[in-house]
Structure 1
C-alpha cells in the first residue's frame, strides 16, 4: 500500500469501480503477459522513398510472403500465391483488376474470404481479442471477430461461419471485408514500427511517408539530421529553411515543399531570375535523372534558385555561428576568407581558386550581410514555413512520437552517433561553464529542440532552441551529424576534392569494437551483456564488403540505402531489422520498381533474410518493456483490491 498512495488508488477506482472490475483486469493483464512478444520492425534512412517504404511496411519486409508459402504451398499454385500476396498488400487496387479477369466472380470472392480468414486466424493467435478488435473498422469488427474465433470441429459453428461468408458475398459486401482482412493481416504481421531517422530529403515523398506513419497503429521515431533540419524550418529557423530549400533544389525534388506542404518558392524564383539572369550557374545544375521530365529552362531556373539560396544560406549560417561562439564553428565563416577581386579563397593557409566568382549580392567589405532583397525573400519564405498547416501536423507528430534516442527492451536506438574522442572517452561540449557529454548531452539538445519549436512566449529562448536545431544538422558535436564539418561551400566552389572531405567523429571507427558498444550501453544504463545498439545515418557499403553487424553483434547499422542516390554505393536498397519472439533477423532488400508494377505485374521486393540472433527461449510479453508496464498495472490493481476489501475505498454502485 505504501507504494500506491490512497489518492492514487482513488483515481484508479474511477476506471475500476468494483472488486469484480479490478479482478477481471488483473486476470486479463496476467494472461496477456504469457503471449509471445510481438514482431517489431526497424527501418532507417528512408529519405522520401515513399513507394518502397510503403511496400515494405505492407509486405512485412517479406514475412507475409513467407507465411503464404508456409500455409498454402500445397494447396495453391505459385501464381495463385503471388496474386494472394499482392491482394494483401494492395487490396483496394487489386480487387477490381482481378474481378475483370475471373470467370466466376462470386466463387473467387468466396474463396478469397476463406483464405484471408485462415491467414488472419494464424496471425491473430498471439494477440488478445481486444487488441485485434482495435485494429478493425468498427462496422465490420463484430462479424470478422466471429469468423476469426470459430470452434473448428463443432458442426453448428462451422455451418454458422459458412453462412456468414455466403451472406457477405450475396449482400455485395465482399470487397469491404476483403480490404479489412488484408489490412488486418498487414497490422498483425508487424506490431510496432521503429524509424531510426532521416525520413526527409532525396526522394519525393517524405510527406507521404509521414502521413502513413501517422496512420500506423504503433510507431516511434528517432530523429535524423535531415528530420531535424525540417523541424527547425517549421520552427522558423531561417538557416534551416535555407538548407531545406537548397537541398530540395539540388535534387530536383520540390514535391514535398510545394505539393506536400504548400510552400511557395515564387519569391525565390523571382529574385533568382532577376539577380542571376545572365549567370549559367553551372555549379548548381540539379542532380536529376537523365529521363526526368524537366525542361532545359526549368533546370536552369532551379540552378539559379539553388545558387541564390546557397549564398543566402552561407550568410544566415554565419550569423548563427557568430551568435553562438560555444559551437566552435568559426572555421565555417568562409565568406570573409574570399578575395573577391582575385576570385580565390584561403583555407588553413592554402589558397584555392574559385570555380564560380559571380557574387552580385555580396559586399566584399561586409560579405555576411543580407541585401534588402535577400532579406525580403527570407522573410516571405519563413512565413510560408511557419504557416504551413500540414508541415506543423507532421512536425508535432515527430515531436510526440520521437526523440534523439530511445531505450527499448534493453536496446539503444539512435540515428547518428555519440561523440567520442580518439581514446574512446565521450567528447564533452562546454557551455556556460557546464560540461555535457554522452547521454547528458543528448538529453540537453533534445530538450533544446523542443524549446526551439514550442517556446513561443520567450523569443530569446526560442531563438536559442532554433539555433540548436541547426547545430544538430551540421555541427561537429552534433549527435545527428558527427563529422568535422559540412563542406557544402567547398563542393560548390572548389575543384580540389581534398577540401570536400568530411572527416567523421572517432565514434565511427570506434563503434566497430565491442568495448565501445559496451561503454555506450553502460552510459545509458543498459546491460552490455544483452543490450544492442541500433544505428543508422551512414550507408553500409555492402557492394564493397561492409557488414551491418559490428562490435561482435553489440551494434547494428541498418542504413542500407533506401534512397536511390545511395544504392550504387550500398549495392542493396535498404535493410529491415526484424525482432520477434524467437530472435532477430536482418532483411536486405533489392530495389523496388514501382507501386504500379507491383499491383499490375505482381512484382514484390526481393529480400534476403539472415538470422543474426536467436533467443535462448521464446520471449513473451512479460519479458519486454510493455510487460514490465503491465506488471506495474497488476501491482497497482492488486493494491486497489486490497483497499476495497479493507474498506479504505468503497465500491461504486453500478446501475
Structure 2
C-alpha cells in the first residue's frame, strides 16, 4: 500500500485536483473509441530513395483513395489526380502550374477548399489535441478554424471564403498549400514500420535515413544489410570490407566518399597498382557511368574482396562457435592447377590472378592491406554523419517487434527440419526462438555502445558480423553466403544458398501458430510480417501465406531484383477496416509525377477485412491507455477517501 500511495502522490503532481483527474479519465475514455490509426509497412528499400519517398508521400495509395471517397463522381479524374499530386509534391506542382500561365488566384481558391476537405477527413480519427500538435506553426490557427467550420453553412460560408481570400491576398497561398499538404501526409499515416534493409544496392540510403529521422512516428526492424552497416560503424573490419565491396559492386562508392566522408584513396591507389594489368572481368560493377569508371571500380572491387576473405578467415578462426570453418577458401587454392577445393572436390577458378596471396600463408594480409583496412576502420568510426544515422537505427530499431498483435521481423526464426527452434550458442548462452532474438538485440547494442570492455565488445561485434552471413542468423536465413564461389567459380550448383527450413514451412498454419505461441501472441488475430526474400510474383509466387497469417512484403523495391520479381515492391496498409497489400509498378521519376500527375501504378488486394471497425481500445496503445485510466481511478478514489489532498 505504501508503494501504491507513493506512486499516486507522484501521479497527483500531474493531476492535482479531482477535476483534473476526472477530465483526463473522460479524455482517455473518448480516445479509446476513436478509430485505430493507419499503419504503413515497407521493407527492403535498398537505397531506392525516389520510389520510397513517393510511396511515403502517397501513403501507398491511401491519399488517392481518400480523394476518391470524398469527391467521387463530383470531380473529374484529371482534377483528382492533380489534387493528389499537389498533396504529394506541393511546392513543385505549384511552380509547374505557375509556369503554365494559369490564373493562380482562382486555382489557389479552389485547391485550398479541396485540400481543407481532404484534411478534415484524414484528421477526423484523431483527437483535437493530437491534430493541434501536428499543425504547422505559421498556419496553426487558420487551419484549426477551417477544419472546424462547415464552409457551406449559411452563417460560415462568407467567413471561410474571407479567410481563403485573405491568404491569397497576402501572397501566402503557396506556403499555406505546402503546409496543409504536408499535414495531410502526416495525418494519413499514424505509424510507419520499416521491416529491414534500408542500405546497399541503391544509390541513396542516406537520403532515406534523413527522411526517416524527420518522420513523425517510425520503427525499424533491422535487416541483414542494416546490421552490416551498423557493424561497420562500430569498426568491425569484416563488416567494413563487405560494405566497401558491395558499394563498389554497384558503383555506389559516392555514398562512402561524398556522403559519409570515407577515404577510399589508399584503397584505390593500391588497387590500381596491384591490378594494373588485370581486367578484373569477374568484378565489373553491375552499373557504371563510363569505361574508365568501370575499370577503376573493378580493381577496387577485387582488391577489397580479397581483403574481405582474409579478414573473415581470422574472424571465423577466432570464433569456433560459429562453425563456419568451411567458409575459409583462400587456403584451398591450388595455384599451380588453378583450382580450388570445395567439399573435397577441385573446381577450376574463373580468375587465377592473386598477386596479394602468399602461397605459404594465403590468409595473411599484406602490409599494405593491413594499412588500408586500418585506415578504413578509422574513417568509418569517425564519420559524423554515418554515426548519426547508425545511432538512429539503434534508437528506433530492434531485432523484432510485436505491434498490435502483429509480429514483425526481417528474415526468419531459425528452425530445424523438425520445426524445432534452432539452439544457438551466443557468447556462451544456448538460446532459441524469442530468447535468441532478444539476446541478439542486446549483443548488438553492446557491440556498438560498450567502449570500456574491449574483449566483450570484440565478441559482440563478431556476432554482429555473424548476423550478416552466419548459418543460424535470423537476418540472413541461409546456410552460407557463397560470395567466393560466385566470384571465382562457374558451377551454378556451388552458388546455391540454401534457405533455412523456416521458409519451407511458411504455408503450414500449425508452424505459424507455434511461432505466435513462442512470442505470446494470439494465433486467431495475429500476423507475421516479413521482408528479406523477394516474392517472384511473375513466377506465380504469392506474398500471402498460411491463409493470410504470414505476409512477405519484399517485392522488389531494389531495381536489381525487379527483373526477377516482376514488380517494384509491396507495401502493407493496416487501418481500422483491416489489412490491404499493395503491389507497385516501377516508379518512373519525380518530374513525370509532377508534370503529368503520374502516380505509381499500384494494385491492391484485401488480406483481411474486419467485421467490426477496430478502435484504439483494440490496439497496444489502447491497452496502455486502459492502464492509465485504472491508475487515474485509483487516484480519484485516493482523493475522495482523503489519502491525498487536492492542490488547488
**TM-score grouping bracket, smaller chain normalisation:** over 0.9
Contact 2:38-2:574 within 8 A present in 1 as well: yes
Contact 1:417-1:482 within 8 A present in 2 as well: yes
Shift of 1:258: 2.4
Which residue matches 1:345? Answer: 340
Shift of 1:333: 1.1
Which residue matches 2:97? Answer: 98
Shift of 1:643: 2.4
Which residue matches 1:186? Answer: 185
Which residue matches 1:632? Answer: 627
1:561 and 1:637 map into 2 onto residues whose CA distance is 48
Which residue matches 2:114? Answer: 115
Q: Once the two structures are superposed, what CA deviation does each residue of 1:136-161 show, in whole Å capped at 9, x if it has no partner?
A: 22221121111101146654333322
**Cα separation, partners in 2 of 1:255 and 1:433, compared to 1, 3 Å:** closer
2:273 is paired with a residue whose SS is helix
2:73 is paired with a residue whose SS is coil
Shift of 1:21: 2.1
Contact 1:37-1:621 within 8 A present in 2 as well: yes
Shift of 1:431: 4.9
Which residue matches 1:242? Answer: 241
2:176 and 2:427 map into 1 onto residues whose CA distance is 61
2:74 is paired with a residue whose SS is coil
Give yes or no for the alignment of 1:650 onto 2:606: no
Give yes or no for the alignment of 1:232 onto 2:227: no
1:360 is paired with a residue whose SS is coil
Shift of 1:632: 1.1
Contact 1:102-1:108 within 8 A present in 2 as well: no
Which residue matches 1:641? Answer: 636
Shift of 1:102: 4.4
The equivalences for 1:211-610 within 5 A come to 211-288=210-287, 294-431=289-426, 434-610=429-605
Contact 1:205-1:255 within 8 A present in 2 as well: no
Contact 1:204-1:254 within 8 A present in 2 as well: no
Q: Which moved more, 1:429-438 or 1:380-389?
A: 429-438
TM-score, with length taken from structure 1: 0.97
TM-score, with length taken from structure 2: 0.98
2:224 and 2:34 map into 1 onto residues whose CA distance is 37
Shift of 1:528: 1.4
Q: Which moved more, 1:111-120 or 1:133-142?
A: 133-142
2:155 is paired with a residue whose SS is helix
Which residue matches 1:43? Answer: 42
Shift of 1:644: 2.7
1:435 is paired with a residue whose SS is strand
Shift of 1:490: 0.5
Give yes or no for the alignment of 1:623 onto 2:624: no
**Cα separation, partners in 2 of 1:546 and 1:96, compared to 1, 3 Å:** same
Contact 2:410-2:530 within 8 A present in 1 as well: yes
Shift of 1:467: 0.7
Q: Which moved more, 1:159-168 or 1:85-94?
A: 159-168
Q: Which moved more, 1:54-63 or 1:152-161?
A: 152-161
Shift of 1:247: 0.4
Which residue matches 2:70? Answer: 71
Q: Once the two structures are superposed, what CA deviation does each residue of 1:482-503 show, in whole Å capped at 9, x if it has no partner?
A: 1110000000001111111101
Which residue matches 2:169? Answer: 170
Contact 1:338-1:345 within 8 A present in 2 as well: yes
Contact 1:284-1:304 within 8 A present in 2 as well: yes
Contact 1:187-1:217 within 8 A present in 2 as well: yes
Contact 1:515-1:551 within 8 A present in 2 as well: no
Q: Which moved more, 1:84-93 or 1:256-265?
A: 256-265
In structure 1, runs of 5+ residues without a counterpart are none
2:16 and 2:98 map into 1 onto residues whose CA distance is 52
Q: Once the two structures are superposed, what CA deviation does each residue of 1:141-190 show, in whole Å capped at 9, x if it has no partner?
A: 12111110114665433332222111111111111110111111111211
Contact 2:198-2:205 within 8 A present in 1 as well: yes
Shift of 1:246: 0.2
Shift of 1:361: 1.4
Query: What is the root-mean-square deviation of aligned Cα atoms in Å?
Result: 1.5
Give yes or no for the alignment of 1:88 onto 2:83: no
Q: Once the two structures are superposed, what CA deviation does each residue of 1:391-429 show, in whole Å capped at 9, x if it has no partner?
A: 111111111111010001111110001111111111111
Q: Which moved more, 1:63-72 or 1:240-249?
A: 63-72
1:21 is paired with a residue whose SS is helix
Shift of 1:95: 0.9
2:638 is paired with a residue whose SS is helix
1:430 is paired with a residue whose SS is strand
2:40 is paired with a residue whose SS is strand
1:650 and 1:268 map into 2 onto residues whose CA distance is 71
